[in-house]
Structure 1
Amino acid sequence: MIGIFTGARIKELDRYTIEHEPISSVDLIERAAGMWVYEFERLYTQQRRVVVFAGPGNNGADALCAARILNDDGYSVEVFLFNVNGSLSPECNEYRKQLLNCSGIRMTEVVDQLTLPELSAQTVVVDGLFGVGLNRPLQGGFAKVVEFLNQSGSEIVSIDIPSGLFEEDNFGNNPNAIIRATHTLTFEYPKLSFLFSENADYVGTWKVLNIGLSVEGKQTIKTEYFLNTDFDISGIIRRRPRFAHKGSFGHALLIAGSRGKMGAACLAARACLRSGIGLLTAHIPACGEPIMQTAVPEAMVHADDRADLVSDYSSPQVYQAVGIGPGIGKAEATVRLVEKMLSASNGPLILDADALNIIAENRGWLDRLPINSILTPHSRELERLTTHCATDYERLRQARFLASHHHVYVVLKGTYSATCMPGGMVVFNNTGNPGMATGGSGDVLMGIITGLLGSGYPPASACVLGNYIHGLAGDIYAGRYSEESLVASDLIDNLGTAFRQVRD
């Protein structure tokens, strides 16, 4: 997995690489700037005017080095270096000296006042003002420069991180003093703030550039945040033994549906069966029996005594996974059923949708959650379970606390869905697309995770693999057709291709 390092650990990893490769700080900047320019030149031709804004630290050094390489490659480059109070870092000063001896580059060294250049839609701005480590909002002249750049109409490409953006929590930041980048070309790993919706307008499209930071350092310097990769997922998925039978892959119970919401139950059941479960029993309201038997003939049906809702379930059968929630509503009898399942379960539960909403209205029941249960809330459901959150960063903090305090797995759904584990690790998912923002998508995910858990995957693997396969199925459909036309059943129809793609 790709580790996501935050705060001081980012600089610590740089220092570790410099000390143990060994490599000088200037040479590491040279390497990083070279990779950055390679990607920049894939985006923009030599016909575009390039204006570089370089700050006094090592992000500015990256920008000055990139300016020199772009000039060597035939680009028209103009540089503004902010040398306020003579505070350049040693590396930035080294590249300043290089540019002074470089023909073809116009460099303006800003000491106190700046005459702002004319920029247009044909200009590409390189943002190298401030990098990681910033811990307070930009103020004064730098804030005015950022505001000018954001209003210029030019495309902006940020080096490593948009200037003014914090790596983690931006709740107290000044939104008017953060660069709104068109593209962010970041080094070695994404920054945590890139994965939160409130920062999308600042980061733009982003890409990670491998600059060869120490592998040993990444293993030595610990982080709790990770972004999964294709390689990680292919290592999770298991081969099915040739002489296996349906009993080899578990028996799952799905409690779902109510009158008018049998679609949720059918979607979850179909997804569960498409995810490798050997046997599935669906406990549904009596009104839904003909619907389920027709739409999902592979599922065994246990009809509730109540016609319109689920109210009770008693069976000596031992299930390898029990999922509850899609479309069940919040009738009093259904509330009692959820309470009973929390007390009676011999193993982890997968709780989604109205099961979570019922628990949110009975907060004391959180202490009854079986160990290693899996909760799959979207942002509003999480806030009902915890507290109001102003940002995605705060939601992540609440989800992590919920997971660790109750020893459960919390899959916080959304773009870059986050699996929060009891031990503190968080794995972000990197598949999926906006077309999946459609009714029933969450029911499909719940069904996938139930099928994986029931067929023998441990909870952590079921969550991470389930998220990935769910998103990949959406990407396969969108690649073949479009994001706009995607509906939840399309995800199920593409699960087979998604599993095969991961396996291959």
Structure 2
Amino acid sequence: MKIFPTSGIRQLDAYTIEHEPIASIDLMERAARALADAIMEQWPDTDTPFTVFAGPGNNGGDALAVARLMAGQGYRLEVFLFNPQGKLSEDCAVNRERLFEVEGITFHEISTQFAPPTLTADHVVVDGLFGSGLNKPLGGGFAAVVKYINASPAHVVAIDVPSGLMGEDNTYNIAAHIVRADLTLSLQLPKLAFLFAENEAYVGEWRLLDIGLSEEAIEETDTYFELADDEVASLLRPRGRFAHKGNFGRALLIAGSQGMAGASILAARGCLRSGAGLLTVHVPFCNNFMVQTSVPEAMTELDYSETRFSEPTDTDDYQAVGIGPGLGRDPQTVDAVLEQIRTCQTPMVVDADALNALGEHRSGLNDLPEGSILTPHPKELERLVGKCHNSYERLMKARELAQNTGAHIVLKGAYTAVVSPDGRCWFNTTGNPGMATGGSGDVLTGVLLALLAQGYDAGMAARLGVYVHGLAGDIAARKQGRTGMTAGDIATCLPLAWKLLEEKDE
């Protein structure tokens, strides 16, 4: 599913109006029906008190049309239309006149002074002050209205976007001047801002409503941002009947140190449960017995050091190399990691302490072999690119890093972003908060390593691996609950996740 900038959404509206064809006011009516149906489904009791705040633009027009449609179904609503400049958009003005055709609405048009209504915990506020076209922070009276809504105990449902929130970059926005919605009903497509952690407090739960924008225009209009969906299953390659382990690659995993054997075990399990033909785990002697006992399907290669990764190893016989989980940050290990990256000609998955080594020696980023994947969480990314003030800036810097290094970046989080060197970003839709547990990222490293070893290119491997890793987490959460699940549960559920993906692709 594509994610367009707000300017692109306006173009989709215009294209739909011209080519369907449909009048602008009728497209607004279609959107209002979808919105009203969703709101009435959420609050089916017609005795629920609704207060509608409408602005002077088309978002306000949507809100007025929603109020009229709900009143026609027996709801009683109080509507406040804010028109301080005495100028409404054409469609908003039409819907103001249509309000008077129905009963059950108490209407106020505000041009100067605003006497706030009483809002209780039983009330539902419909926020239609401003939509996705906003390009500067709210101020003056509108900011005061937002603060009043946020201070109330009422439930808040936002039309398209919470008023005050910009669709992409909110770096210079004013937090107190953004509506805090419990539910956001986005029209047709999501907004990029919905996917950033700091905006959760404003967006709340968000749902998409199909309002019939032109599918042809959506398909033909390019964008750098997409939301991953079930189409990821099409990336999965079928296995031939006469295939053998040699067809699915040899993978090398460099992981673990004294006290951190678990990281290498979890990554190894993730790799072997994701289809790698053969896996060798390079470990210090102190971890050898634990790895061989816990993951008997894997072979081990011993480091010269008893306790840590100390010297680079030969990678010529492998199709992919994973490096980083549980290595630690001993200076000898850091030097070995940098030298391993410098001399490796095989695609790599670089994670955890290997990323930290690159963060301390950023010149090493220039040595990454072609087709590599970096898997930072936000703090690890900042060690590579510098301090970021918010998720939008972090994403933009990840795009720069991918472009400069030629590597794919897997920026881990609630909507893990896969960033390609050409600037495209795919946001993952699987996974849950139960995966916020130690070792989850190690399992992902193993999954990505397996896919690279099988010959998937870095972009396909990253998208497919992140999706199935999250899907395994969702299966684990259903089985174990989010609070009690562990990274080991994610690894255990990988085979079922792959099975589900195989069935979708049949």
Interval containing the TM-score (normalised by the shorter chain): over 0.9
- Tell me if the contact between 2:338 and 2:357 (Cα under 8 Å) persists in the aligned partners: no
Matches within 5 A, 1:110-149: 110-149=110-149
Residue equivalent to 1:424: 423
Per-residue CA shift, 1:270-313, capped at 9, x if unaligned?
A: 10000000000110111111111100000011011110011224
Residue equivalent to 1:157: 157
Residue equivalent to 1:208: 208
Q: 1:392 to 1:455 in 2, by over 3 A?
A: same
Per-residue CA shift, 1:191-230, capped at 9, x if unaligned?
A: 1111111111000000111212112211332210100011
- Which moves more between the two structures, 67-76 or 377-386? 67-76
Residue equivalent to 2:410: 411
- Tell me if the contact between 2:347 and 2:452 (Cα under 8 Å) persists in the aligned partners: no
Residue equivalent to 1:108: 108
Residue equivalent to 1:68: 68
1:193 matches 2:193 = yes
Matches within 5 A, 1:286-325: 286-315=285-314, 317-325=316-324
3-state SS of the aligned residue for 1:338?
helix
Matches within 5 A, 1:331-480: 331-480=330-479
- Which moves more between the two structures, 338-347 or 53-62? 338-347
Deviation at 1:103, TM superposition (A): 2.1
Structure 1 residue ranges (4+ consecutive) displaced by more than 4 angstroms after TM superposition: none
Deviation at 1:327, TM superposition (A): 0.6
Deviation at 1:59, TM superposition (A): 0.4
Deviation at 1:496, TM superposition (A): 1.2
Deviation at 1:32, TM superposition (A): 1.0
Residue segments in structure 2 that go unaligned for 5+ positions in a row: none
TM-score, length-normalised on structure 2?
0.97
Per-residue CA shift, 1:374-410, capped at 9, x if unaligned?
A: 0000010000011011111111111110001111100
Amino acid at match of 2:86: G
Deviation at 1:372, TM superposition (A): 2.2
Q: 1:316 to 1:400 in 2, by over 3 A?
A: closer
Residue equivalent to 1:83: 83
Distance 2:166 2:313 in 1: 52
Residue equivalent to 2:3: 4
Deviation at 1:47, TM superposition (A): 2.5
Deviation at 1:316, TM superposition (A): 6.6
Deviation at 1:347, TM superposition (A): 2.5
Distance 2:406 2:66 in 1: 48
Q: What fraction of aligned residue pairs are identical, expressed as a percent?
A: 50
Distance 1:324 1:313 in 2: 11
Residue segments in structure 1 that go unaligned for 5+ positions in a row: none
Q: 1:316 to 1:86 in 2, by over 3 A?
A: closer
Distance 2:135 2:7 in 1: 11
Residue equivalent to 1:175: 175
Would you say how many aligned residue pairs link Structure 1 and Structure 2?
502
Amino acid at match of 2:471: L
Per-residue CA shift, 1:208-259, capped at 9, x if unaligned?
A: 11212112211332210100011x1121112111110000101100000000
Distance 2:340 2:468 in 1: 28
Distance 1:348 1:277 in 2: 15
Deviation at 1:173, TM superposition (A): 0.8
TM-score, length-normalised on structure 1?
0.98
Residue equivalent to 1:29: 28
Q: 1:316 to 1:3 in 2, by over 3 A?
A: closer
Per-residue CA shift, 1:413-457, capped at 9, x if unaligned?
A: 011000010011000001111111110011011111111111122
Distance 1:37 1:481 in 2: 37
3-state SS of the aligned residue for 2:85?
helix
Q: What is the RMSD computed on CA atoms of the aligned residues? A: 1.1
Per-residue CA shift, 1:310-349, capped at 9, x if unaligned?
A: 1224337421110000011122332232222222222321
Distance 1:25 1:405 in 2: 44
Residue equivalent to 2:57: 57
